[in-house]
């Protein structure tokens, strides 16, 4: 697995949705690639931070910009 494939699969990895073979290749790549290990940790930190935001805590304009930014990755 290369770094680009890992980035594409990170959400499925965190959701536990990868098949066993893909999960094993993902984990093997993480053992060899500090950059992807850091990316995964940053992704986890982002999910945790965003998950802690309650409804109404974000300015509506900022919320819309944030959602638009995430759409470009989907």
The per-residue pLDDT of the chain, averaged, comes to: 88
Helix-helix angle 20-32:34-51, to 10 degrees: 110
Domain that holds residue 52: 3-71
Q: What does the pLDDT average to over 17-35?
A: 97
Q: What is the pLDDT of residue 71?
A: 67
* More confidently predicted of 68 and 45: 45
Q: What does the pLDDT read at residue 22? A: 98
What are the tens digits of pLDDT across the range 32-43? 999 999 999 998
pLDDT of 68 > 70? The answer is yes
Which CATH number goes with the domain that contains 42?
1.10.10
Distance CA 68, CA 36 (A): 25
Output the pTM of the full model.
0.72
Query: What is the number of domains present in the chain?
Result: 1
């Amino acid at each position: 697995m290369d770094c680009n494939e890992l980035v594409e699969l990170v959400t499925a990895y965190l959701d536990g949705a990868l098949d066993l073979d893909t999960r094993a290749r993902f984990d093997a790549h993480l053992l060899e690639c500090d950059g992807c290990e850091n990316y995964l940790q940053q992704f986890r930190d982002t999910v945790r931070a965003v998950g802690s935001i309650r409804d109404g805590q974000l300015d509506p304009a900022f919320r819309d910009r944030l959602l638009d930014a995430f759409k470009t990755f989907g």
